[in-house]
Structure 1
Amino acid sequence: MSFTIAIIGRPNVGKSTLFNRLVGQKLALVDDQPGVTRDRREGQGRLGDLDFTIIDTAGLDSGPRGSLTARMQEQTEAAIAAADALMFVIDARAGLTPNDRAFADFARRANKPVLLLANKSEGRHGEVGIAESYALGLGDPIGISAEHGEGLGDLYDALKDLMPEPIHDDELDEDDAEGEEIDPSRPIRVAVLGRPNAGKSTLINYLLGEERLLTSPEAGTTRDSIAVDVEWKGRKLRVFDTAGLRRRSRIDDKLEKLSVSDALRAVRFAEVVVLVMDAQNRFEEQDLRLADLVEREGRAIVLAVNKWDLIERTPGAIGALRESADRLLPQLRGAPLVAVSGLMGEGIDRLIAAIEMAHGTWNKRVSTSALNRWFEQAVRANPPPAVSGRRLKLNYVTQTKARPPSFVVFCSRADAVPQSYLRYLTNSLREAFSLPGTPIRITLREKANPFAHKAKRKS
């Protein structure tokens, strides 16, 4: 029996773009003009290994009985009645509108599971809308960009929990629910990423104990992202071998472009990314770009320096690697770093342990009471700077989700808090709660001003 999802929301928030993204084809017309979609449209959607029926609906709007707008509303209501779950879409860049709040009540009355999607959330402008959407009372928002395909990993995690059972298991395995205890019997999804000829396939072959993946001294042997199941001393992994990624300016071949796209998709659906570097040419510019990509995608990361058997061993070599990693990748300070040889099998036990550690940190939750004790001490030790002679007031902090650990700081004048102070809070948070290397998200949210309506009345 197919699981059915209806996409609902006010006009022009990107419902049809999301529909096209999930069905993998441009079936629904998309335009900047609101109200393009009128009839409900059904398609077979797929996200990872999840198959479902998806319904695109007209933007929720009100109108006199018998009018075109009213009939469009009836089509939407019919779609909601036929659905098992709803995707309620808002425009993160525009922020909440009165219509969003009204239709959130409409969604609640449907008495069906609701996924709150903050679309168009790419870039800093979308962060405010994501934070505002908590006020709708529909649970944690999922920041996505339907146009650019961002946030689909988080959407997959939430949707997986709603569906009664996996339809089939050909690419990805069951995932952990956010905030729940990690089930060691479930395989960790691991993407192996790196520049061409860094030894990714050789490393995976050693884990498998067989020549399952093609390897060659020639760079670019791997084209597709191949998924294989690995069990190493009782720990199950679902490992994705990816094509080597060169700088974009050097990619001309159409097939290579498709391979790169496939590799990036594997990263988005991974839980842990193992970034493989060549020990003889480590921390090159492309390695740093790939590490930054993993951080921006919000995935846990392990740095694997491969071909270690070709390096002359000197005292302090690993310490020097660690120092280089922290200096060149400050946004991932403390990320697990392992020297390995995929050909000779050196360091494999340490690599698996590092993957487990990174996965555990990525899933970590911190109690609100402990967070706010830390927060008071951090702000007292280093108060935020005054801006234009006015003091910034930081009130309290809460963790909104794990995978990666994400926090909301409630404050006054969120737009005036400098990035340097956010970096200070991030580093302090990382040290206080043992979050080495994992991406950390801190969003600023202004508390509502209870006197704002009085000021407007006077003016």
Structure 2
Amino acid sequence: MSFTIAIIGRPNVGKSTLFNRLVGQKLALVDDMPGVTRDRREGEAKLHDLSFTIIDTAGLDEGPKGSLTARMQEQTETAIALADALFFVIDARIGLTPADRAFADFARRADKPVLLLANKSEGKHGELGAMESYALGLGDPIQISAEHGEGMGELYDAVSKLVPPTEDEEHEETDEERAARPIRVAIVGRPNAGKSTLINHLLGEERLLTSPEAGTTRDSIAVEIEYKGRGFRIFDTAGLRRRSRIEEKLEKLSVADALRAVRFAEVVVLMMDAQNRFEEQDLRIADLIEREGRALVIAVNKWDLMEAQPGQIAGLRRDADHWLPQVAGAPIVAVSGLMGEGIDRLMQAIVQSYAVWNRRVPTAALNRWFEGAIANNPPPAVSGRRLKLNYITQTKARPPSFVLFCSRADAIPQSYLRYLVNSMRETFELPGTPVRITLREKANPFAHKRKRPN
């Protein structure tokens, strides 16, 4: 029997939307009205290379014995009993409710592994709600958007620790050459940038079709390689053109497949043509990678066609920092996929970027930096009132994410947040990786007290 996961939570948090996404079909009805799902529904879920059984359940709700609501909850309890693990879903846009807290206790009593999923986490309000969910005591929340497919890479990482491997996978895990889990790397870029040629050189064979004609690659092809004792799972993707130029349905599907590869990757290599680098589409792709929270490495391909001039590599570094300030310091490597030049530097950059992406900053060092950063450049006064920044803490890595507790979160300028991010990058050596800072207002301990009458 396959590994089984039940999706539970109060009504209308997006359980059926997540179910449909995992099974790849619209099997469960979805509507804004709570209580659409009544019976439990099973399906075969596919999350990248993981396969398991998923159960969609009715929203946990209380009702008198014998009522429809009570019978729906009995179906949910049966699903929990059948499951090997649970997805406990909350609505991050609304934040925690008393029902979430009550049903979190219910989930804990099931005595099964529970993954806390903060659904609808896209946007500023979703970030704040996800941070609130730490209070449930179910571990770090996994921020997802079941509707838009965001956060599926993080969900994959968590589920892969629960789903037991197949016999073949067990053999691979005990192999000494695969002691470390392969780093998932997506190679992306505009059409005809040389992505497939580079991967063929890494493999040492013509595994992927290449052609001077743009658009040769259509599907996202995954290949396993080992480079100097380290495992990599590399995805070759279709070239990404501007949306206005995509007309054929097949190309639209290919682009969607490439974007899916980015979401499941840990490191993304943005490949540019040396003779036409940092064009508008290159910048759009880099911005997409940053929004998805992936580590970025820039590879400038076909460098063998460039005329040798002094200071060229330094010029690449200046261009990258100028055009991509949101990922300042991202590694940039000149390569030739055809000739094999710069491959060692590229693979080393991937490993280093992966390490930075996973980095956690010690709390003591973070506090010392925070005090110094505020002392050197205090936050500006807004409308004549001083903004107070209380403290900062790191909530997770992959990418490094922090919560800043403050007064009047909506009044802090974006320019001051950029100052903090840039200072943090420099102090803790976080080049190229996205850095997330979420603002959260500290609760006023006197807010519940009424003013005394005069």
Q: What is the CA distance between 1:168 and its match in structure 2?
A: 6.5
Structure 2: how far apart are the matches of 1:165 and 1:326? 42
* Structure 2 residue 139 is matched with structure 1 residue 139: yes
Q: What is the CA distance between 1:167 and its match in structure 2?
A: 7.6
Task: State the one-letter code of the partner of 1:278.
Answer: D
- Of 395, 417, 420, which residue of structure 2 is paired with 1:422? 417
The equivalent of 1:177 in structure 2 is: none
- Of 399, 424, 437, which residue of structure 2 is paired with 1:404? 399
Structure 2 residue runs of 5 or longer lacking an equivalent are none
Structure 1: how far apart are the matches of 2:256 and 2:452? 53
The equivalent of 1:360 in structure 2 is: 355
- Contact 1:6–1:57 (CA<8 Å) still a contact in 2? yes
- Contact 1:301–1:438 (CA<8 Å) still a contact in 2? yes
The equivalent of 1:27 in structure 2 is: 27
Determine helix, strand or coil for the equivalent of 1:452. coil
* Structure 2 residue 295 is matched with structure 1 residue 292: no
Structure 1: how far apart are the matches of 2:203 and 2:50? 26
* Structure 2 residue 203 is matched with structure 1 residue 208: yes
- Contact 1:8–1:60 (CA<8 Å) still a contact in 2? yes
* Structure 2 residue 221 is matched with structure 1 residue 226: yes
- Contact 1:95–1:129 (CA<8 Å) still a contact in 2? yes
Q: What is the CA distance between 1:457 and its match in structure 2?
A: 10
Q: Which moved more, 1:183-192 or 1:85-94?
A: 183-192
The equivalent of 2:18 in structure 1 is: 18
- What TM-score do you get using the length of structure 2 for normalisation? 0.95
Q: Which moved more, 1:154-163 or 1:249-258?
A: 154-163
C-alpha distance 14-220 of structure 1, shift in aligned 2 (>3 A): same
* Structure 2 residue 275 is matched with structure 1 residue 280: yes
The equivalent of 2:300 in structure 1 is: 305
- Contact 1:412–1:446 (CA<8 Å) still a contact in 2? yes
Alpha-carbon RMSD: 1.6
Determine helix, strand or coil for the equivalent of 1:207. helix
Task: State the one-letter code of the partner of 1:280.
Answer: Q
Structure 2: how far apart are the matches of 1:418 and 1:81? 49
The equivalent of 1:271 in structure 2 is: 266
- Contact 2:52–2:163 (CA<8 Å) still a contact in 1? no
Determine helix, strand or coil for the equivalent of 2:13. coil
Q: What is the CA distance between 1:184 and its match in structure 2?
A: 6.5
Determine helix, strand or coil for the equivalent of 2:212. coil
The equivalent of 2:321 in structure 1 is: 326
- Contact 1:50–1:166 (CA<8 Å) still a contact in 2? no
Task: State the one-letter code of the partner of 2:429.
Answer: S
Structure 1 residue runs of 5 or longer lacking an equivalent are 175-182
The equivalent of 2:107 in structure 1 is: 107
Q: What is the CA distance between 1:415 and its match in structure 2?
A: 2.0
The equivalent of 2:247 in structure 1 is: 252
- Of 178, 182, 185, which residue of structure 1 is paired with 2:180? 185
Structure 2: how far apart are the matches of 1:398 and 1:280? 43
The equivalent of 1:81 in structure 2 is: 81
C-alpha distance 377-166 of structure 1, shift in aligned 2 (>3 A): farther
Q: What is the CA distance between 1:419 and its match in structure 2?
A: 1.3
The equivalent of 1:7 in structure 2 is: 7
- What TM-score do you get using the length of structure 1 for normalisation? 0.94
The equivalent of 1:371 in structure 2 is: 366
Structure 1: how far apart are the matches of 2:33 and 2:51? 30
Determine helix, strand or coil for the equivalent of 2:448. helix
- Contact 2:219–2:237 (CA<8 Å) still a contact in 1? yes
Determine helix, strand or coil for the equivalent of 1:221. coil
Task: State the one-letter code of the partner of 2:115.
Answer: L
Q: Number of aligned residue pairs: give it.
A: 447
Task: State the one-letter code of the partner of 1:33.
Answer: M
Task: State the one-letter code of the partner of 1:365.
Answer: R
Structure 1: how far apart are the matches of 2:451 and 2:37? 37
Q: Which moved more, 1:158-167 or 1:86-95?
A: 158-167
Q: What is the CA distance between 1:188 and its match in structure 2?
A: 1.2
The equivalent of 1:449 in structure 2 is: 444
Deviations 1:149-173 (A, max 9, x none): 111001111111222335876xxx9
Structure 2: how far apart are the matches of 1:388 and 1:58? 48
- Of 338, 345, 358, which residue of structure 2 is paired with 1:350? 345
* Structure 2 residue 108 is matched with structure 1 residue 92: no
Structure 2: how far apart are the matches of 1:150 and 1:223? 22
Deviations 1:188-216 (A, max 9, x none): 11110000000111111111111111111
Deviations 1:14-43 (A, max 9, x none): 100000001111110001111000111111
- Contact 2:144–2:152 (CA<8 Å) still a contact in 1? yes
Determine helix, strand or coil for the equivalent of 2:381. coil
Task: State the one-letter code of the partner of 1:315.
Answer: P
Structure 2: how far apart are the matches of 1:152 and 1:216? 32
Task: State the one-letter code of the partner of 2:107.
Answer: A
- Contact 1:192–1:273 (CA<8 Å) still a contact in 2? yes
Structure 2: how far apart are the matches of 1:440 and 1:197? 31
- Of 385, 394, 402, which residue of structure 2 is paired with 1:390? 385
* Structure 2 residue 58 is matched with structure 1 residue 58: yes
C-alpha distance 236-135 of structure 1, shift in aligned 2 (>3 A): same
Structure 2: how far apart are the matches of 1:59 and 1:454? 36
Determine helix, strand or coil for the equivalent of 1:453. coil
Q: What is the CA distance between 1:446 and its match in structure 2?
A: 2.0
C-alpha distance 224-167 of structure 1, shift in aligned 2 (>3 A): farther
C-alpha distance 278-457 of structure 1, shift in aligned 2 (>3 A): farther
